[in-house]
Amino acid sequence: VTNGGKTTLAKKLQKILPNCDIICQDDFFKPESEVETDQRGFKLYDVLDALYMDEMVKSIRSRMNNPACSCVLTEETQTTCTNPKNTKDVYILIVEGFLLYNYEPLNELWDRRYFLTLPYEECKRRRSTRVYQPADTPGYFDGHVWPMYLKYKNELEENSSNVVYLDGTKPQEELLSQVYNDIVQELTKQRE
């Protein structure tokens, strides 16, 4: 969901997980001139066609094939990703975005799936506090953003399994702890 805390959660996880990198779906938006406009004059940003999804898949696959070159080091990890001695380490790639599970070529890549939710009123309130380029036009949230969220969420629920739904109204530290503990358990399983 828009303004659900995806980027905040991803960045906090990156700070505390070793050998961790992030790819943000927002980095793959097409230029405004290439984004379709509907009959009401709304730019259709909340659809897959507004994104260079093939480029995103290539970027993800590239990082998965060569993770040490893209790893972001943090003070907390105190490791070096380019050191050959670390080749046995597990590298973590967090991919965050709003339409990740509705694009079939990505679905085979996920080890874990998390989906942040917000109720309508909270989502609208948070969205109203953000500044976007281009700016949201009057009625855009109700006329495009929220309906597209519901459409893609329904598709996700019909077609995907193994998704952990997270309540975006919970405190950030609680969400961080829940996801961090889940990732640590997954890493433990992979190392066994």
In CATH, the number for domain 6-69+89-190 is 3.40.50.300
Mean pLDDT of 69-95: 53
Mean pLDDT of 158-169: 90
How far apart CA 64 and CA 95 sit, in angstroms, is 11
pLDDT of residue 68: 66
The yes-or-no verdict on residue 150 having pLDDT over 70 is: yes
Instruction: Note the pTM of the prediction, 2 decimals.
Output: 0.85
Which tokens is 153 given?
């969420």
* Listed range (9-23, 27-41, 45-59, 150-164) with the worst mean pLDDT: 150-164
The yes-or-no verdict on residue 86 having pLDDT over 60 is: no
Q: Dump the DSSP string for the chain.
A: -TTSSHHHHHHHHHHHSTTEEEEEGGGGBPPGGGS-B-TTS-B--SSGGGB-HHHHHHHHHHHHHSGGGTPBP-TTT---TT-GGGGGSPPEEEEE-SSSTTSHHHHTT-S-EEEEE--HHHHHHHHHT---SSPPPTTHIIIIIHHHHHHHHHHHHHH--SEEEEETTS-HHHHHHHHHHHHHHHHHHHH-
State percent of the chain over pLDDT 70: 89
Report the catalytic residues: 26
82 — pLDDT class (breaks 50, 70, 90): very low
pLDDT, mean over the chain:
87
Mean pLDDT of 91-119: 93
The yes-or-no verdict on residue 74 having pLDDT over 90 is: no
pLDDT of residue 85: 35
Find out whether 40 and 136 touch, Cβ atoms under 8 Å.
no
